[in-house]
Structure 1
Amino acid sequence: MAPLAYRRVVVKLSGEALAGPEPSGIDQATIDRIAADLVAARVLGVSLGVVVGGGNLLRGATAADKGADRTTADVMGMLATVMNALALEAAIERLGAPARAMSALSMPQVCETYERRAARRHMADGRIVLLAGGTGNPFFTTDTTAVLRAAELSADAVLKATNVDGVYSADPKRDPNAVRYDRLSADEALERRLGVMDFTAFSLARDRRIPIIVFSIREPGAVESVLRGTGRATIVGG
């Protein structure tokens, strides 16, 4: 088998991915499949942090567009990420692997509060760390959170799990002539406005030289394939 390309990673998992075939909510079969992929990666000896989005339950920007105060709406979105992290933590532990949900928003009755050194210890001890609550501040996306946590935790890469197998020049579902890229620099992704991650996330990844690997989470074993460098994906920056 191919050797591992990365030994310590932060996986960015969108909330929408947890909804599975449904338009919203948490699909248990999908959660269980993703949990199995993460556990399989841990068995390989990879240290894993997972930043979870909340768009399957509530997206702060959408709530703000409908009239909610933006700061309040973003906090609501952060709470949704905690719910997803707890669901994923439970699924991982049912498989017999240790996991720890940590939130940037302090809620000690629910889960551990995120602190960089504690998170690093959990990863060193073999726990899969579920990083919820965004950055703990409004106006920042979970994409930015993923790159920030990767920098804090000295991760080799950010693995962005999506519903498509890489970065395209246009939406492949709408444009049959969309071109798929195998590799891009961060500057190219920004200049071409490809929209894989927001500007802040890309800028931080570029400055810290953290590669972003965009891949589809829809197939079982996708995480391990990316870790071995054999999966179908687009590598941005690094």
Structure 2
Amino acid sequence: MTKKPLYKRVLLKVSGEALMGDQQYGINVETVDRIAREIKQATDIGVEVCLVIGGGNIFRGLSGAAKGMERASADYMGMLATVMNALAMQNALERFGVPTRVLSAIPMMTVCEPYVRRRAVRHMEKGRVVIFAAGTGNPFFTTDTAAALRATEMGCDALLKGTQVDGVYSADPHKVKDAERYDHLTYMDVLAKDLQVMDTSAIALARENGIPIIVFSIHNDGGFVNVLTGDGRCTIISDAA
């Protein structure tokens, strides 16, 4: 019997790279399906879920800017990549019977709805999974900041960041064998230690609005629901460590 979830409404932030699976680029359909099944498990136990997905598997604005592209244009290209990922996730979720809406910060009415906060809240109240695409709609802001912003606007109880590892470490555990893993951190710990879990704007926004950030591995089967019920391996970032 599944335990009762600790949160009623959450935002799940997934990097674009997480959708690549074992590919070097693009969208791995099997990986998207697996993440969609995780989300369905969460909705099945009564959790309202919304998502922000990055675009790094297709195009990353900072990388384009580093190669000489004008930064704002590169960032807009990155936002379009997040729309592609959002549509892929919507397709997977709906194949599993999960009602879903994609809301884009950049209006593109032929493929998805424009982002309107009240409309997004209403979708969630009706039990739909809402996928927020195109970041904040502004260049120079990451999808991490978009996740913190949308979590605040939706009145989420927590922001869950699905990563490549099972929490926050003092260094990349794939490169540093004795990297320290943290169970709990304060927002200020993250900033002071420069842990780069999320960018500083996202951390500050979550801190100002009292939204805990929970970092866990998106690659562990059942990991999302386990974290929601308090059983999963994760790092919790909040005011009290």
Alignment correspondent of 2:74: 73
Alignment correspondent of 2:236: 235
Alignment correspondent of 1:90: 91
Q: Name the CA distance, whole Å, in 2 between partners of 1:199 and 1:219.
A: 27
State the shift of 1:57 in Å.
0.3
Q: Which secondary structure state, in structure 1, belongs to the residue aligned with residue 25 of structure 2?
A: coil
Alignment correspondent of 1:53: 54
Alignment correspondent of 1:157: 158
State the shift of 1:8 in Å.
0.2
State the shift of 1:220 in Å.
1.6
What is the aligned-residue identity percentage?
A: 54
Alignment correspondent of 1:180: 181
Alignment correspondent of 1:6: 7
Q: TM-score, normalised by structure 2?
A: 0.97
Deviation readout 1:124-164 (Å, 9 max, x if unpaired): 10111011100000000000000100100000000000010
Contact 2:11 2:158 (C-alpha < 8 Å) held by counterparts: yes
Structure 1 portions without partners, runs of 5+: none
Q: Which secondary structure state, in structure 2, belongs to the residue aligned with residue 154 of structure 1?
A: coil
The amino acid across from 2:200 in the alignment is: F
State the shift of 1:221 in Å.
1.1
Alignment correspondent of 2:113: 112
Structure 2 portions without partners, runs of 5+: none
Q: Give the RMSD, CA atoms, in angstroms.
A: 0.7
Q: Name the CA distance, whole Å, in 2 between partners of 1:147 and 1:178.
A: 27
Contact 2:4 2:45 (C-alpha < 8 Å) held by counterparts: no
Alignment correspondent of 1:123: 124
Q: TM-score, normalised by structure 1?
A: 0.99
**Equivalent pairs, count:** 238
Q: Name the CA distance, whole Å, in 1 between partners of 2:213 and 2:179.
A: 20
Q: Which secondary structure state, in structure 2, belongs to the residue aligned with residue 42 of structure 1?
A: helix
1:136-147 alignment to 2 at 5 Å?
Answer: 136-147=137-148
Alignment correspondent of 2:22: 21
Alignment correspondent of 1:201: 202
1:38-49 alignment to 2 at 5 Å?
Answer: 38-49=39-50
**Stretches of 4+ moved more than 6 A in 1?**
none
